[in-house]
Amino acid sequence: MHFTSEQHLDDGVLEREFTLGEIPGILWTPGSASASAPAPLILLSPPPLGLRKVYPRLAARALHSAAHGYAAATIELPGSGDRPRWPAAEQAVADLRRAMGAGEPVGDEIIDALILPLVERAVPEWQAALDALLSLPEIGGPVGYSGGVISIGTRLAVVEPRISAAVLFAGSFIPRAMFEEARRVTIPLHVLLQWDDEGNDRQAALDLFDAFGSKEKTLNANMGGHTGVPQFAGDAAGQFFNRHLR
Amino acid sequence: MHFTSEQHLDDGVLEREFTLGEIPGILWTPGSASASAPAPLILLSPPPLGLRKVYPRLAARALHSAAHGYAAATIELPGSGDRPRWPAAEQAVADLRRAMGAGEPVGDEIIDALILPLVERAVPEWQAALDALLSLPEIGGPVGYSGGVISIGTRLAVVEPRISAAVLFAGSFIPRAMFEEARRVTIPLHVLLQWDDEGNDRQAALDLFDAFGSKEKTLNANMGGHTGVPQFAGDAAGQFFNRHLR
């Protein structure tokens, strides 16, 4: 992990860009974080749109997290942003757009081709990022996950015991295989669903919520479109982390 | 409205039993409430089980509300507790129990007979209670509603302009006619759903949430069974009132 730039944001938050091998990422640490007072960490998993594009939203969430004493970190998803192009993934996106543009139902093959390889590639990268981040003296446990592509969060919740609690966004296509995987999730979950998100399959989101094996799981559904999560819902997600990461 | 008893609870909260005509009720006012600083009011609508039986749950919610500066009040539903027996309602409950006991689907006729007359009778009583409560110098506006039988809350939200925001519990049978009525609700709503409540028709609750016409509506679904609303979900409902009743 190599830091490539740093700047101080409001409230003493230190923002550092880094690379982890070929993968670019960003780490935000609160002014209070130090080797003697390591901060708990929230992994901010982005949508697959490129970190530059979603930077404003991620930075706002990181600042909000830092105000409550958390470090936050993100890495670029495979095939997104400045990372090498991934022709198979681009083909899957093209197939999806074609089907949606033609008003056709989005078949399982398209969803599987779009999501499953992304999960397979991204999850080990997030685990490698977690190794690197937790080796920094200013970062301690516990670790929360907040993101992005819900299947990545689901898989991580199953395979990565260092993640104690997760906020998941129910706004992306879900392969059928993930419903079975969801039953093996046991950590506390807080699932955000934008109820009137036209690009989202609401029933699939409800089915996935139902499938999660966690004893503590909350579905928090709100109005406002795909990116219109209300401030109070963001606050509720923050309170969820406060309950589980302290 | 006649007060029949009073006692001081923790934190200076005054609990007064009253009768409104034949209807028994309870009013809780925070120690801070006075004619010069009237408290906003939360109507705590009970389930139709009798106030004595649900007193512990209601009193806990009233104390929680009072800690945030709210007065809280409840009245007995028609046919419940010490109120005169209501043979038609008892027949509807008996029909429901027979159908459920026999493992039969609960038909629309049973649900309509169970809920619609209750709504017709209860809503004007809650409006009369509101008249009486708002005439007390220690109580001011705005008014929130929190309850109970979701169809009563839905009807009240449509017909009673003095109610500014409502927390609804998705845990009772819903007549088909209420889905149409729900579209006319415009006040902010916070709907609590106990996801694994076996006595509850989850799909009907989701459909009703979808039908509400409110621009701000939140569905907060949690685990824990019918009466097992987690503390943090109660806190979130309290924060909803803090956003809308201040």
Residue A90 domain-assigned? no
Question: Any CB–CB contact under 8 A between A93 and chain B?
Answer: no
CA B237 to chain centre: 13
Name beta bridge partners: A74: A26
Ranges in chain B, pLDDT < 50: none
Nearest CB to A218; choose among B209, B210, B220: B220
Q: Which one of A223, A231, A241, A243 would you mutate to disrupt binding with B, by most B Cβ within 10 Å of its Cβ?
A: A223
The β-bridge relationship of strands B71-75 and B39-45 is: parallel
Three-state SS for A184? coil
Residue B110 domain-assigned? no
Mean pLDDT, residues A148-159 taken together: 96
Which amino acid is present at B225?
G
Q: Which one of B207, B231, B232 would you mutate to disrupt binding with A, by most A Cβ within 10 Å of its Cβ?
A: B232
Which chain A residue shows the shortest CA-CA distance from B236?
A236
Phi/psi at B19 (5° precision): -125, 145
**Cβ contact B221–A218 (<8 Å):** yes
Residue A234 domain-assigned? yes
Give chain A positions within 8 Å (CB) of B230: 216
A37's CB contacts (< 8 A; 6+ apart) are none
Which amino acid is present at B117?
P
Question: Any CB–CB contact under 8 A between B3 and chain A?
Answer: no
Name beta bridge partners: B14: B8, B29
Phi/psi at A191 (5° precision): -105, 120
**Cβ contact B223–A239 (<8 Å):** no
Above pLDDT 70, what percent of chain A? 100
**Cβ contact A236–B240 (<8 Å):** no
Question: Any CB–CB contact under 8 A between B98 and chain A?
Answer: no
Question: Any CB–CB contact under 8 A between B127 and chain A?
Answer: no
Distance (Å, rounded) from C-alpha B30 to C-alpha B37? 11
What is the predicted pLDDT for the residue at B85? 94
Nearest chain A Cα distance for residue B213, angstroms: 11
What is the predicted pLDDT for the residue at B142? 96
What is the predicted pLDDT for the residue at A32? 85
**Cβ contact B240–A223 (<8 Å):** no
**Cβ contact B243–A232 (<8 Å):** yes
Q: Which one of A167, A210, A219, A242 would you mutate to disrupt binding with B, by most B Cβ within 10 Å of its Cβ?
A: A219
Which chain A residue shows the shortest CA-CA distance from B213?
A223
Q: Which one of B218, B239, B241, B246 would you mutate to disrupt binding with A, by most A Cβ within 10 Å of its Cβ?
A: B218
Name beta bridge partners: B7: B15
Give chain A positions within 8 Å (CB) of B206: 206
Name the B residues in 217-236 with CB < 8 Å from any A CB.
Answer: 217-223, 230, 232-233, 235-236
Nearest chain A Cα distance for residue B184, angstroms: 17
Mean pLDDT, residues A185-202 taken together: 92
CB B186 within 8 A of CB B215: yes
What is the predicted pLDDT for the residue at B197? 87
Using the structure block, give the residue that is written with the tokens 């078949």: A107
Q: What is the DSSP letter of A230?
A: -
What is the predicted pLDDT for the residue at A197? 87
**Cβ contact A222–B223 (<8 Å):** no
What is the domain extent for residue A11? 2-84+117-244
Which chain A residue shows the shortest CA-CA distance from B193?
A219
Residue B54's nearest CA partner among B65, B46, B42 is: B46
Count of structural domains, chain B: 1
A90's CB contacts (< 8 A; 6+ apart) are A79
Residue A157 domain-assigned? yes
Question: Any CB–CB contact under 8 A between A243 and chain B?
Answer: yes
CB A163 within 8 A of CB A145: yes
Count of CA atoms in the C-beta half-sphere (13 A) of B119 = 24
Residue B106 domain-assigned? no
What is the predicted pLDDT for the residue at A125? 98
Residue B114 domain-assigned? no
Q: Does residue A199 carry a pLDDT above 80? A: no
Q: What are the CA-CA distances from residue A28 to residues A83, A165, A241 (Å)?
A: 21, 19, 17
* Per-residue buried b or exposed e for A25-59, using 16+ beta carbons within 10 Å of the residue's own CB: bbbbbbeebeeeebbbbbbbbbbbebbeebeeebb
**Cβ contact A221–B209 (<8 Å):** yes
The β-bridge relationship of strands B217-222 and A217-222 is: antiparallel
* Residues B223, B119, B153: CA angle, nearest 5 degrees: 45
Give chain B positions within 8 Å (CB) of A221: 209, 218-221
CATH number of domain containing B236: 3.40.50.1820
**Cβ contact A233–B218 (<8 Å):** yes
Q: Does residue A10 carry a pLDDT above 90? A: no
Question: Any CB–CB contact under 8 A between A170 and chain B?
Answer: no
Q: Which one of B207, B212, B215, B219 would you mutate to disrupt binding with A, by most A Cβ within 10 Å of its Cβ?
A: B219
Q: What six digits make up the tokens of A86?
A: 């991934």
State which H helix or E strand residue B209 sits in: helix B202-211
Which amino acid is present at A154?
T
What is the predicted pLDDT for the residue at B133? 98
Residue A108 domain-assigned? no
Question: Any CB–CB contact under 8 A between A209 and chain B?
Answer: yes
